Structure 1
Amino acid sequence: MSDVKQFTYAELEDHKTRKSLWLVIHKKVYDVTAFLDEHPGGDEVLLEEAGRDGTEAFEDVGHSDEARDMLLKMYLGNLAPSEASKNTTTAANGTAQSGTPAASPVRFLMPLIVLIAWYVYRQYFA
C-alpha cells in the first residue's frame, strides 16, 4: 500500500482561507497558502478554487512547465478515490454542486476591459 496521504473534500473544506489554502489539481492535493501573494494571476483566483477541484481552471489558463514544477513543492497527497467522482464546486450562492466549476464574472469581463483599454489608448495616445 502507498504511503501517500489520501484526502476528502470534507478535509479540504477546512482549508479555504488565506491562512490555509488547499486545492485539487488532477486528483492531487496541494497547499498553495505560501504562494498566494506570489501568484501572477492574483490571490483571488486561488481563493475562488480553494477547497475544491481546480483542474479545469488551472488548465484553462495554460500554465507553464515552471508553474507545474512549482506544484511539486506544494504537494500534500492525493484525492481519495472515492472522492474523485464528486468534483464538488461552489455556486455563487454558496451551495455545493457537482459538475463543472462556476464561471467567474472576471472571465466574462476581461475581454470587455481589454477592448475598452485599447479604445481609450487609441483615442488619447495614438
Structure 2
Amino acid sequence: MASDPKTFVFSDVSVHNKTKDCWLIIDGKVYDVTPFMEDHPGGDEVLLAATGKDATDDFEDVGHSDDARDMMHKYYIGEVDKSTVPKKRTYVAPADRAYNPDKTQDFVVKILQFLVPLVILGLAFVVRSYTKEKSA
C-alpha cells in the first residue's frame, strides 16, 4: 500500500459502477477492480452489485480465501472518507449491468450453433419419412 494513500469521498467512488470502470469500498479502503472484472470467480455482476455502497458486508459474507484477500492489495487505490459514506444505500443500477451485449450475443450464437444442425437433421428425417411413405 502507498505510504500516503489518497482519500476519496463516497460520491467520487460511487460513479465508478461500470464493467470497464469499477471501484469498490471494503473496510474503508477503495479498490479499482476493473482489471479483475472478467476473472472474478463470481462473475462481474457480483462486483457491479457491490458498487455505490460500502461493500464490506458483501465481501465478508462470501467468505473469501486468504489468497483472495492477498490479491486485493494490487487493486488498492486509497481510502474513503467514512463520513461521506451513507448509512443506507440509495440503489443506483450500474449503467451497463442490465444488459451486457457481449455475453448475450455469445450465448445466442452458441445456442444457434447447437440448434440449427438439430433442426436441419429433424427436417431431413421428416422429409425422408415422407418420401418413403409416398414411394411405398
TM-score, length basis structure 2: 0.61
User: Counterparts of 1:10-89 in structure 2 under 5 Å?
Assistant: 10-84=11-85, 86-89=86-89
In 2, the alpha carbon distance for the partners of 1:20 and 1:60 equals 24
* Pair 1:7 & 2:13 matched: no
Contact kept, 8 Å, 1:53 with 1:88, in 2: the verdict is: no
Structure 2: unaligned runs, 5 residues or longer = 94-136
Shift of 1:8: 1.0
Contact kept, 8 Å, 1:21 with 1:51, in 2: the verdict is: no
Please provide the CA RMSD for this pair.
1.9
Aligned residues: 91
Q: Which has the higher contact order (CA 8 A, sep 6+)?
A: 2
Residue of structure 2 in register with 1:108 after alignment? none
Larger radius of gyration: 2
Shift of 1:12: 1.1
C-alpha distance 75-62 of structure 1, shift in aligned 2 (>3 A): same
Contact kept, 8 Å, 1:12 with 1:52, in 2: the verdict is: no
Shift of 1:9: 1.2
Contact kept, 8 Å, 1:36 with 1:46, in 2: the verdict is: yes
| Cα shift readout 1:10-68 (whole Å, capped 9, x = no counterpart) | 10122111111001000000000010100001111000111321100100000000000
Higher helix share: 2
Higher strand share: 1
Percentage identity across aligned positions? 49
Structure 1: unaligned runs, 5 residues or longer = 96-126
Shift of 1:87: 3.9
